[in-house]
Amino acid sequence: MKRKTNNGLKIICLNRKASFNYFFEDLLEAGIVLKGSEIKSIREGKVNIADSYAVEKNGELILINSHIASYKQASYSNHKPLDNRKLLLNKKEINKLIGKIQKEGLTIVPTKMYFKKGKAKIELAVAKGKKQYDKRATKKNRDWSREKARYVRRSS
């Protein structure tokens, strides 16, 4: 699922489930601390960030539950697929995010992973969870816009 966009980003994976389950308040870019076998596996596109989220531990942000498949050619130096991975942000950004998480009850969810100038980056969203009726309204709007497009195509 590697796509190259016009601004030099090579998208590795998207988290489409996040936009359905959360309202995004803020988007930011972060680097990830990875091992050699992890980056090789990412270059093959074997990544899943659908159920992952970020938490604060000891003044750092840690990405939890992101699945990077093990790399077959790495023998004894292979990584664990569900390891916790440290996110690279400025101290000022980390403190701002920690404050939002603790005060307002928000969460940090990854929305996409991509390569930027050869480095693996992840886009994080400071998000608030949707209620069930919000999800139904989103689904209803999406279905209606799909039906509307069909009517326009048939009529012309």
Higher model confidence: residue 125 or residue 2?
125
pTM: 0.80
What's the CA angle centered on 26, arms 63 and 43, to 5 degrees? 45
Smallest Cα–Cα separation from 111: which of 26, 30, 7, 18?
18
Q: What's the confidence (pLDDT) of residue 129?
A: 84
Give the torsion sign (CA, 57, 58, 59, 61): negative
- Domains in the chain: boundaries: 3-130
Token pair of 67 as six digits: 């699945």
d(CA 61, CA 8): 26
CB-side neighbour CA atoms (13 Å) of 27: 11
Contact 12, 45 (CB under 8 A): yes
50-85 confidence digits (pLDDT tens): 999 999 999 899 999 999 998 888 878 888 888 899
Specify the fold of 3-130. Small Protein B; Chain: A; (2.40.280)
